[in-house]
Amino acid sequence: MINFFAETEFQLKGEDKISAWINNAITAENKIEGEINFIFVNDDYLLDLNEKFLNHDTLTDIITFDNSVGNILHADIYISTERVQDNATDFKVSFQEELHRVMIHGVLHLAGYGDKTDDEVAVMRARENHYLERL
């Protein structure tokens, strides 16, 4: 089950469509949808999590807490809508496009994709683009 929560005034548009899209991506990656919670927050909230749990004193757009068991994906995925907006402006894309990219990015991490090396980043971007075309 995919759930959407907000610690701010943010409201996700098209929850049913996005849930189906994410489920289709999970299935295409030969994984099983467990409980995945998307929690939309502000920069301060995500910075606090980043400091407490990852010992990083930097702003980020997403933190994924992976609780998966085998091929069943379970996670809490925190997304800063403020970072998403800033990134959308920087990359000259719409807020919605950047939000969807960040969301599928978190799911792809759960499916086993990394982004620490240039090669991993290239594969991650290709998979993101693949799924964004299907939304």
Q: Binding-site residues, please?
A: 105, 109, 115
Binding-site residue positions for Zn(2+): 105, 109, 115
Burial of 107 (0-12, 13-18, 19+ CB in 10 A): buried
